[in-house]
Amino acid sequence: MKKRYFLVIPVVIAALYYSRNHVAMKHPKKVLEETKQAYRDVTGSAINYTPEKVFKFGAITHVYRGMINTPKSNYEFIADCYTGELINVQEIVF
């Protein structure tokens, strides 16, 4: 019986650690900083601090909307609140 605990305890700890990272929303400022690293020569950026619900990939996803300005063009993005991954990026055409 004790041998099972040696296997079960690490699995439970790993599951709790994984779920903790995906349950808490990332701070919008941190998501914006991670997004800015994907672009060169960022001249301006903004993010909406209020999460929105978007129906994407067959499920409701909580997202942050933001904007990145570069010397050549401007981009609007949608990023996942929990992971910070970019879901959609569109170039803004004037």
Share of the chain above pLDDT 70, in %: 87
Per-residue pLDDT, averaged over 50-74, amounts to 91
Q: Taking the model in full, what pTM does it have?
A: 0.73
4/7 Cα distance (integer angstroms): 5
Query: What does the pLDDT look like over 12-35, one tens digit per residue?
Result: 777 777 666 567 889 999 999 999
